[in-house]
Amino acid sequence: MVDNHISSAPRRHSGFDLLRVLATYMVMQIHTGEFEYISANGTVLHSTGAWAAGWMNSLLRVCVPLFVMISGFFLFPIKDEKEFFRKRFTRVLIPFVLWCAIYAFYYYAQGLASFSVTLLNIAKIPVNYGTEVGHLWFLYMLMGIYLIASRKAHVIWMYCETSSILRRSLRSAKTPPNRENNMIGNWPRNKSRPR
C-alpha cells in the first residue's frame, strides 16, 4: 500500500543551505584575514599580503547582507504576530540577554570591570551593550528587522502579491489564448496546437 500522505514539515531549500555555508565561510575568512593587515599592537601593516587580504576581505563583505536576505526570505508571511514574536524572542532575545550578562560577569571576574560597571553594562543591553561584546552587533540589527517586519508585513506582503499578479498578467498577455475556449490564462499544456 502506498502512503500518499504529504508531510506538513517545511521543505528544505538546498540552495539557501549552500548560500548559508558560503556566507559562513566568508565571515570566517573576514575575521581570520584581519590578522594579515592588522598587527598585534593594532596598527595597519603595509605589505603585499596585507594588501591582498584587504581586497579579499572587502569583496567578502557581502556575507552579512546575504544572511539578512536569506532571513528575510523565510520571515514572510507573518500570519500571527503574537506567535511570531514568541518564537523569535525565545530563539534570539533570551539567549542574547543571557550571553551579554555572562560576558558582563566574566569581565567582572577577570577584574576588568567593577561591580557597578558590570550592573551598568547589563542595564545597557537593550540599547547597546558596548564594544566588549562587539561580535554580537548583528543581533541588534536582527531584532530591529523583526520589529520593522512585523509592523510592515502587510505592506511587504501586499507588494509581493501585487508584483506576482503583475508578472502573471504580463505572462498571459504575451501567450496566445486557447482557440477552444478563448479564455486568457487557460492554454493547453503539452498539446499540439490545432491548425
- The rounded distance, in Å, linking the Cα atoms of 111 and 83 is 42
Asked whether the predicted pLDDT for residue 24 surpasses 90, the reply is yes
pLDDT at 20: 92
Q: Which residue has the higher pLDDT, 175 or 120?
A: 120
Asked whether the predicted pLDDT for residue 47 surpasses 90, the reply is no
- The rounded distance, in Å, linking the Cα atoms of 103 and 124 is 13
Q: pLDDT > 70: what percent of the chain?
A: 68
- In the structure, what pLDDT confidence band is assigned to residue 15 with cuts at 50, 70 and 90? confident
Q: What is the pLDDT of residues 66-118, one digit of tens each?
A: 988 888 787 777 778 888 888 888 888 888 889 888 988 998 999 998 999 88
Mean pLDDT, the chain, integer: 76
- The rounded distance, in Å, linking the Cα atoms of 51 and 78 is 45
Asked whether the predicted pLDDT for residue 3 surpasses 60, the reply is no
pLDDT at 175: 56
Contact 67, 40 (CB under 8 A): no
- In the structure, what pLDDT confidence band is assigned to residue 181 with cuts at 50, 70 and 90? very low
